[in-house]
Amino acid sequence: MPPRKAAPALVLFDIDGTLIRRAGPHHRLALEEAVRRVTGLKTTTDHIPLHGMLDPDILAQMMRNAGADDALIRRALPRILEIAGGVYARTVPDIRRKTCPGVRRLLGWLRRRGVPLGLVTGNVPRIGWKKLERSGLKPYFRFGAFAGMARDRAALVRLAVRQARREGWITRDARISLIGDTPGDVRAAQANGVTAVAVATGISTFQELSAHAPDLLLEDLRALRLKMLL
């Protein structure tokens, strides 16, 4: 099979609130169950600003709120993340109806144009890919940068861009965009000099996103046109 031609664009997507929303409590419950199994602690995500956070940071805060010290958190976290992925994979239902407006149409357009698509997400890999599988979106995505691969979202964007360049998927001067629904996504794009596309389909309001000056700000992905990304 001949090598795939390098594309003039790369589009990276956040998952929660950007591709999928209102997908149920299964992710949160998987984190809580994993902490209980590993440490015996009863934890909750209550009063933690989950939106835009990475799973390891959420878990650390859950355990800290339940009285765990930093040493216990460091020791327990790798096993907790492993178990959480398994719990989520076994419990998440079909969430194909939970995709955000305009997502499937946009992904179809980009795939037909040969644009490689990647994920930049606060989910750990097993949870992130399972969400994509159960929502029917997984076939559109070639790769991803997930929680646990880097310390913050900006570093995850760097990892994704480096992989795309290393694999020869994009041209040297390719236009790179990150689509997300939180101020953290906008800041991560800006830190890497890529196009920040903010979409108000998550918890952050249009006004909150506007305050961070994204390159593009949309009510939802139905308003996005290919020329904005290519």
Q: Which residues face 13 on adjacent strands? A: 119, 179
Q: Is the pLDDT of residue 2 over 60?
A: no
DSSP 137-171: -GGG--EEE-TTSSSSHHHHHHHHHHHHHHTT-EE
How confident is the model at residue 209, as a pLDDT?
98
Longest Cα–Cα distance of the chain, Å, equals: 57
Q: Taking the alpha carbons of 84, 85, 86, 90 in that order, is the dihedral positive or negative?
A: positive
The three-class DSSP label of residue 41 is coil
Q: What is the mean pLDDT of residues 133-139?
A: 97
The C-alpha atoms of residue 208 and residue 229 are separated, in whole angstroms, by 23
Beta carbons of 200 and 217 less than 8 angstroms apart: yes
* DSSP alpha helix (H) spans, the chain: 26-39, 55-65, 70-91, 103-112, 125-135, 153-166, 183-191, 206-210
Q: Is the pLDDT of residue 3 over 70?
A: no
Q: What is the pTM of this model?
A: 0.94
Instruction: Tell me the pLDDT tens digit for each residue of 164-209.
Output: 999 999 999 999 999 999 999 999 999 999 999 999 999 999 999 9
The C-alpha atoms of residue 224 and residue 201 are separated, in whole angstroms, by 13
CATH class of the region 7-21+98-228: alpha beta
CA distances from 207 to 197, 198, 202, 214, 220 (A): 14, 11, 13, 11, 14
Between 174 and 49, residue with greater pLDDT: 174
Where does the pLDDT of residue 5 fall: very low under 50, low under 70, confident under 90, or very high at 90 and above? Answer: confident
- Residue 127, C-beta contacts closer than 8 angstroms, at least 6 positions apart: 27, 30, 55, 84, 85, 88, 89
